[in-house]
Chains A and B, each alone.
Chain A
């Protein structure tokens, strides 16, 4: 997924993200001095790799969920913990050169509630332990006895949620066994997902508490130089089709107007097929003006290899994350050759 997250983490390190944005995203991902760099054909070591990798520049634990209330009303939620390193190590104490950033959101058809948290490393305010698994920042947490059974919590000024997650399938490794290439020049990250979570829990919204059930998708990704210097933005899709098939696909927008795309086709049993550059396409059909940002909120997504030709529409086109690093993130519905639900995130439109 989420080059968006890469942007976020890189931007977090710039006090003036707008200035960085004005300069384009160029140059942000091209240096990795002192940091470890992903290499092809990785061999993951679990549960340790569910934890933090301080020798890589950026890393995240990124969960999105599509849910319904008792009356069938659809909802979306997001829970993200980012880690961003100033130096490739961590220590105890305020001077640990790692920074944590949390984003959370709840989306309804008409409202979009967001919250953001920042924390220093080394003092216990935020962190990740692999076993038992816990990722936390302040009172937000994603934790459980293992990576398959988790409790998730976050709160903001207007909302809170507390939901339980149970994995119904295997981990999904993107790209080449978890080595996910992001550009023709070879920038890459380690990237795997748990795409089969069943969810139940409670949303607390200004109108009251709502019991919800649904599905969730958890991304794990880390890297040190994930972007090519000429890449300006990112559109990422995680779609679950009726019948159990799933699709992850992203489109990196490049300065010359071309795109680099990548994706993973996921069979109902978890079997994966990597979609090389060009196999997955996404075309904007309609844009929504959110303040000064023009954001595509209806898309035509095609994977000819699997006869997929669907329209992806934002459930709430106003799902703008108006945080220190702004982007768009919200639930979508799918219609066309297949129908289903999913999540869409878009960066570089600020």
Chain B
């Protein structure tokens, strides 16, 4: 009997290959969307982790110079001899601009926890010390080939554009003999050490957590991608749900026949479930493959984005990570299971003889809808409560989930209400029938419409978020990388000479002065700024007092970054103590995206009074002719090329790369919308078959098939328009949660939200087009239904 049952079930697909295709394609698309986003995320994260582990960053506390970037080797020895277990690191860039490699030198004997490849088994210590190799991945090694006179060893786990070697070799290659850049603190320190201030007062300790600016900023980017992944998952689940619903809807008659022929219900359900499992696995495998292609296409751009923006290195190559392809398969199977449970229960509960009647189905559906409404109200209420009283990142995501699911579940009722309003106002008979019939059709379409709602909302939300991110970031780059050229001097004398040399050649010379400080009880940096046209023209402030720049320049006020302001609960007008005798009012708050710690800016003269020992070794130079200035600095002044950074080039590159990310986002948008369009198409196809009994009387009363087809198309457009109208506020709410709640909870800074009506209009048109395309074929089919089929409705058992 099992074999017969299976063959009967299979015969349905054989007779309707298109339906089989839609089911598998629906599953595959949903899985692809999910696994594509996951793959990009997982790959980028894995690369970060490798980079962080390679360099021991984030893992351990570090000691850094409070001023400048160098630590004398004697300081390292003094610390060791006082009992401080620290491992030295020297690092610097080598190679021509554009293809520079970060060379990191470590001492394997004092590095805590076996940093890098040494001790990891690829080479033993005597070999490492005597052969003095430089470790790098294959791509980096190729860049270094011929550039350095040390043996290169390929080590794939090392972060891109990074090379690791012994400290002796690194100091030699970087020309940094006797100098170190940072000291890594071993996690376990001996008892009875003297305080750090007594041994090395010039060093400050940076805690392991929150150490890396790059990590914080890229985390933000990844959080956004993760949110996108979750949204795509929600959309995907609706698609899968729709596809399963379709498969059951279309086979109700067969189920009835099989049961009437004596197939036990239990066995029938087991058979249908196994069939679904096989289909889910097939759809899942196809989806994961598709996701891989999507990810492989997107990843180089994402990698380049992160590199260009944050200096973080992400390998552009994609690896088939078990984590994401397994999760892709799991999504497909789980989604199918969730979706099928409801459908199978329906089959099980349906009276034997009633199961072929669409009306019975619809009645059952109506009960489900009441439950949906109750859940929706509860979820939206929870979302409201979370906004008002919730705290923490988990709350942020909980809020996101409540909002989205609640809104999706509420959609059918909202649409029903709108349609009821329309039907009340309808005058003509046809119009009244049109609205009433649309309402009657709503339950069957609601899943597809929910998918459209979520896809639209996700697109509105994500594009708002990403575009806001871009605007903010472009502004931030303009502000922070305002100077055309940055130079660094090696000594105080050279710095003075450099400043004097550069002054007549530039419009402004901006010294970079900073000290680590504790402000409002929080770790922070105090900057001294030469307030001039650059600051006045380029720095946008989140909040400012009148004449902010004048009062800061006069030393009467200061600026703080958003992080400090939010964490310390300060804002414009509040006072901040920056020295034993110095308390100044805050005149402005500036956005400081990606910086983990607080920052305050005072005028250069005031800074020099507070910290006379600090002299600027780095300068930003403003000029109209960067090339000429650069040549003058190297040829006439004799500054090594390595001490000059052409920031304009970096900025242009960063922005160009960022633009590519938006292409990525746009591609993902198109994908989600097509998935939603596909859901609508499938639902309409399903409804078309079972709606004949309702359409036949209208035809019999004189309405032409052509007119009926037109009305079908119009119905799809009306529903799409209404859904889009609901999606816009939901999408904006989503964006708001991402920017103003999730980001603040995760990183302590809020991204300003910008609204892009034109983008939304285009998105709305896309959604409309998707709905039209989806409805076109079913409508056309209806318009061409043979009159005989319509007549059969009256001839059959009804």
Contact = CB atoms under 8 A, between A and B. Distances in A.
Contacts of A87: 130
Nearest to B170: A94
Interface stretch (A44-52, A112-120, A183-191): A112-120
B81 A125 contact: yes
B125 A139 contact: no
Nearest to B107: A120
Nearest to A96: B168
Contacts of B126: 13-14, 86
A185 to B, nearest CB: 25
Interface stretch (A32-40, A150-158, A332-340): A150-158
A136 B107 CA distance: 19
Interface in A103-148: 115, 118-120, 123-125, 136, 138-139
Most chain B CB within a 10 A radius of its CB, from A95, A97, A119:
A95
Interface in A11-28: 12-16
B87 to A, nearest CB: 10
A280 interface: no
Contacts of A97: 129-130
A160 interface: yes
Contacts of B130: 86-87, 97
Interface in B69-124: 73, 77, 80-83, 85, 107, 109-110, 118-119, 121, 123-124
Contacts of A118: 109-110
A156 B190 contact: yes
B124 A13 contact: yes
A75 to B, nearest CB: 17
Contacts of B193: 139, 155
B168 A95 contact: yes
A327 interface: no
B187 to A, nearest CB: 10
Contacts of B175: none
A123 B179 CA distance: 12
A124 B124 CA distance: 24
A158 B168 CA distance: 33
B146 interface: no
B166 A16 contact: no
B399 interface: no
- Interface SS of A by simple majority: loop
A139 B82 contact: yes
Contact of B191 (A119, A123, A159): A159
A204 B193 CA distance: 13
Nearest to A157: B188
A13 B125 contact: yes
Most chain B CB within a 10 A radius of its CB, from A16, A94, A97, A160:
A94
B171 interface: yes
Nearest to A84: B126
Interface in B755-781: none
Most chain B CB within a 10 A radius of its CB, from A15, A136, A156:
A15
A155 B189 CA distance: 9
Nearest to B128: A15
A99 B109 contact: yes
A93 interface: yes
A124 B77 contact: yes
Contacts of B129: 86, 97, 99
B115 to A, nearest CB: 13
A160 B83 CA distance: 11
B167 A16 contact: no
A155 B73 CA distance: 23
A94 B191 contact: no
A13 B124 CA distance: 8
Interface string A153-170: 001111110000000000
Contacts of A157: 188-191
Most chain A CB within a 10 A radius of its CB, from B81, B123, B167:
B81
Nearest to A87: B130
Nearest to A120: B109
18 contacts: A13-B124, A13-B126, A14-B125, A14-B126, A15-B124, A16-B124, A97-B130, A115-B190, A119-B110, A123-B77, A125-B81, A125-B110, A139-B193, A155-B192, A156-B191, A157-B190, A158-B191, A204-B191
Given A139-B82, A204-B191, 14 more contacts: A13-B126, A14-B124, A14-B125, A15-B123, A16-B124, A94-B166, A119-B109, A119-B110, A138-B81, A138-B85, A139-B80, A139-B81, A139-B83, A160-B191
